[in-house]
Amino acid sequence: MPDKNLQFLDIPRAEPAKAPVETRLRNFREIYAQFDAGSAAQQAGRCLACGNPFCEWKCPVHNYIPNWLKLIEEGNLLEAAELSHKTNSLPEVCGRICPQDRLCEGACTLNDGLGSVTIGAIEKYITDEALKAGWKPDMSNVQPTGRRVAI
């Protein structure tokens, strides 16, 4: 059995497949494909679970990134979705449009030569797959403020 603490040396950073330019010119669908459960778990397993997680501190909403990466590595998708929504009301959006290369992934300890953990792709995977499985965020404690926002 390989040493979990050193698996980032054996497992390189991997991104989901990217649609070719010719395809993207003809539609407005997702540019990147979705990770499957095995790929998401493998990439999440590269996380070093740093004592002082710079990825979490660099994230503007201070997502519990190492914690939900651990849950994905263990196969606990719905728990990861719940945890992801504790700090971010729209992780399905942030997983797609947030500039992770300058924020969480840019701050990842592995970013110096080994390739950071693919945090953004895993964040997108968590919510998309949880919603497909029927999960819904708990909105029972949300209090109306009377304010509106446009996206």
Q: What would the DSSP string read from start to end of 11-59?
A: S---PPPB--HHHHTT--S-SBPPPPHHHHHHHHTT----SS-HHHHHS
> pLDDT tier at 2 (50, 70, 90 boundaries)?
low
> pLDDT tier at 147 (50, 70, 90 boundaries)?
confident
| Residue 151 pLDDT exceeds 70 | no
| Residue 138 pLDDT exceeds 90 | no
- Domain 4-132 sits in CATH at 1.10.1060.10
| Residue 1 pLDDT exceeds 70 | no
pTM attached to this predicted model: 0.87
Q: Both ends of the chain: CA-CA distance in Å?
A: 47
Determine the Cα–Cα distance for residues 85 and 63; give it in Å rounded to an integer. 9
Name, in order, each residue with C-beta under 8 angstroms of 59's C-beta and a sequence gap of 6 or more: 65, 103, 104
Which tens digit of pLDDT belongs to each residue from 102-132? 999 999 999 988 999 999 999 999 999 999 9
Report CA 13 to chain centroid distance, whole Å: 14
Which tens digit of pLDDT belongs to each residue from 53-78? 999 999 999 999 999 999 999 999 99
H or E, element range at 127: helix 119-132
| Residue 23 pLDDT exceeds 80 | yes
